[in-house]
Amino acid sequence: MKKPKVKTGLEILLQDGAKALRGGRVGLLAHAASVTSGLRYAWDALSGLPGVSLVRLFSPEHGLMGTFQDMENIPREQPQPMQGVPIFSLYGADAGSLRPRVRMLKGLDVLLADVQDIGSRYYTYLYTVAYCMESCRRAGAEVWVLDRPNPLGGVRIEGGRVAPGYRSFVGRYPLPVRHGMTVGECALMINDAFGVGCRLRVVPMEGWRRDMWYDESGLPWVMPSPNMPFLETAVVYPGACLIEGTNLSEGRGTTRPFEIVGAPWIEPAAMAASLNRIGLPGVAFRPLFFRPTFNKHAGRSCGGVQIHVMNRDTFLPHLTGIEVIRCARRLWPGEFDWRREPYEFETRRLAIDLLAGGTWLRRVVEEKVTLSECVNAWSREIREFEKVRSKYLLYS
């Protein structure tokens, strides 16, 4: 097996036997992608170390082993990987379940957070880490974030920030959609700039550069969530996740979630031709039919397109997702609609507004403002964000 170019924070911690943890009581926030380069789970690797007492596990959305679908209530009774070590679910039946209660952390000296993020603001694992940081501050426990690569690299930034009044579990902080930071860097910024103020340590990676895509790290790709099967999925996600806020299928229930988009009333050739005429950089659209096995339009034949990324270095996923939604609404205004059901424990605000971080996207799609006005606003917000984030970057 070829030696990876990158060592994750987990492997840096393990390489000296995690001596700094010896004699302490340790908790671990982890999920299915919390593995070494040899695919050993973090809890197995840590529990085998002399003097390290791993006494509690915490699981984010989708559960410890990634067996639960999106927005699915995860009970305490998950598969038990370690005999006698309790698992606390941090994604239950209501918004209160997202935050660990202080009693869950009682007696812990350190909570390790080892989660694979995918570099998009909507992805919820970062906010689970932040909730853990807040609760650990109150419980008196230290938080160590074991850093991992941003699969999209750490250079490109896209999209506007979350407006006041639109904070949610898919956007708790004023981050751009594609923020270009690792989970460790984000934790440092959240702790300092956004006022969490816990005792925080980040165990940085070795060998990671900001211009690296995940497949250049040499690390194996493990699905961080059930509908993130490939790096290609993560590449389109900063735009394709916006489809969740509509009545279009985002491809859940197919083998290519987020790369496939459509609905029963869409005529594939017309949609593909319209999108290809725009000339978006680094992408092509192929007409297709598909039948989701679950989620939206389950069991029904849908027309739509597959998003084919031809050049990931020039591809603009956020802009592409917006154009897909605009196209569907322009060609099928009578059938297209916004998602009306509750979304991530929110019942008052539309899912699309939570994902977009405000009402601007609805206004663009409904042709009340122009997309160019929003793109200009993003540019200003990105410049402001770059000034803030520069203080917390750990890698050249």
* 60 and 173 housed in the same domain: yes
Assign residue 303 the CATH number of its domain: 3.90.1150.140
Q: List 88's β-bridge partners, or say none.
A: 58
Last residue of a domain, one of 162, 188, 223: 223
Domain extent at residue 249: 231-358
Q: Are 358 and 163 in contact (CB under 8 A)?
A: yes
**Residue 10: closest CA among 54, 40, 32, 50:** 40
Query: Is residue 372 classed exposed, middle or buried when 0-12, 13-18 and 19+ CB atoms within 10 A define those classes?
Result: exposed
Q: Is 117 inside any structural domain?
A: yes
Locate 118 and state its tokens: 């995918």
Task: Name the domain count of the chain.
Answer: 2
Locate 25 and state its tokens: 């009581």
Integer CA distances (angstroms), 153 to 118, 119, 234, 332, 396, in order: 10, 8, 11, 36, 11
Q: Are 219 and 149 in contact (CB under 8 A)?
A: yes
Q: Residue 33 contacts by C-beta under 8 Å, 6 or more apart in sequence?
A: 66, 115, 116, 222, 223, 224
Q: Could you give the CA distance from residue 332 to residue 316 in angstroms, rounded to a whole number?
A: 24
* 43 and 20 housed in the same domain: yes
* 113 and 139 housed in the same domain: yes
Tell me the per-residue pLDDT of 205-262, one tens digit each, with 9 for 90 and over: 999 999 999 999 999 999 999 999 999 999 999 999 999 999 999 999 999 999 999 9
Strands 53-59 vs 87-89: parallel, antiparallel or unpaired: parallel
Q: Is 142 inside any structural domain?
A: yes
* 42 and 159 housed in the same domain: yes
What's the pLDDT band for 386 if we cut at 50, 70, 90? Answer: very high
Assign residue 27 the CATH number of its domain: 3.40.50.12170
Q: Is 249 inside any structural domain?
A: yes
Q: Could you give the CA distance from residue 379 to residue 201 in angstroms, rounded to a whole number?
A: 32
| Cα-trace Rg, the chain | 21
* 27 and 175 housed in the same domain: yes
Q: Indicate whether 281 pLDDT > 70.
A: yes
Q: Could you give the CA distance from residue 252 to residue 263 in angstroms, rounded to a whole number?
A: 12
* 213 and 304 housed in the same domain: no
Tell me the per-residue pLDDT of 129-153, one tens digit each, with 9 for 90 and over: 999 999 999 999 999 999 999 999 9
Q: What is the pLDDT of residue 83?
A: 73
Q: What is the pLDDT of residue 115?
A: 98
Q: Residue 195 contacts by C-beta under 8 Å, 6 or more apart in sequence?
A: none
Q: Is 383 inside any structural domain?
A: no
Q: List 35's β-bridge partners, or say none.
A: 41
Q: Is 84 inside any structural domain?
A: yes
Q: Is 395 inside any structural domain?
A: no
Lowest mean pLDDT among 69-83, 103-117, 299-313: 69-83
Residue with tokens 């039948």: 291
**Residue 308: closest CA among 288, 286, 325:** 286
* 214 and 248 housed in the same domain: no
Integer CA distances (angstroms), 64 to 121, 128, 394, in order: 21, 13, 28
Mean pLDDT of the chain, nearest integer: 95
Backbone dihedral angles phi then psi of residue 111, each to the nearest 5 degrees: -110, 120
Q: Is 380 inside any structural domain?
A: no
Instruction: List the strands of the sheet with 283-290, edge to edge.
Output: 260-263, 302-309, 283-290
Q: What is the pLDDT of residue 77?
A: 59
* 175 and 307 housed in the same domain: no
Q: What is the pLDDT of residue 177?
A: 97
Q: What is the pLDDT of residue 78?
A: 66
Q: What is the pLDDT of residue 48?
A: 84
Locate 105 and state its tokens: 């952390």
Q: List 143's β-bridge partners, or say none.
A: 111, 200
What's the pLDDT band for 367 if we cut at 50, 70, 90? Answer: confident
Across 98-125, average pLDDT: 96
With pLDDT > 70 as the criterion, what percentage of the chain qualifies?
A: 98
Q: Could you give the CA distance from residue 7 to residue 376 in angstroms, rounded to a whole number?
A: 38
Q: Residue 32 contacts by C-beta under 8 Å, 6 or more apart in sequence?
A: 62, 64, 65, 66, 222, 223, 224
Q: Is 78 inside any structural domain?
A: yes
Last residue of a domain, one of 170, 200, 223: 223
* 63 and 159 housed in the same domain: yes
* 199 and 119 housed in the same domain: yes
Angle formed by the axes of helices 371-389 and 317-331, nearest 10°:
160
With pLDDT > 90 as the criterion, what percentage of the chain qualifies?
A: 92
What's the pLDDT band for 79 if we cut at 50, 70, 90? Answer: low
User: Does residue 78 or residue 383 have the better pLDDT?
Assistant: 383
Q: Are 199 and 5 in contact (CB under 8 A)?
A: no
What's the pLDDT band for 84 if we cut at 50, 70, 90? Answer: confident
Lowest mean pLDDT among 28-37, 47-56, 111-120: 47-56
**3-state SS assignment for residue 264:** coil
Q: What is the pLDDT of residue 1?
A: 56
**pTM attached to this predicted model:** 0.96
Residue with tokens 């990987």: 81
Q: List 202's β-bridge partners, or say none.
A: 145
Query: Is residue 73 classed exposed, middle or buried when 0-12, 13-18 and 19+ CB atoms within 10 A define those classes?
Result: exposed
Last residue of a domain, one of 173, 196, 223: 223
* 115 and 258 housed in the same domain: no
* 165 and 204 housed in the same domain: yes
Q: What is the pLDDT of residue 311?
A: 98
Length of the chain: 396
Which DSSP symbol is given to 262? E
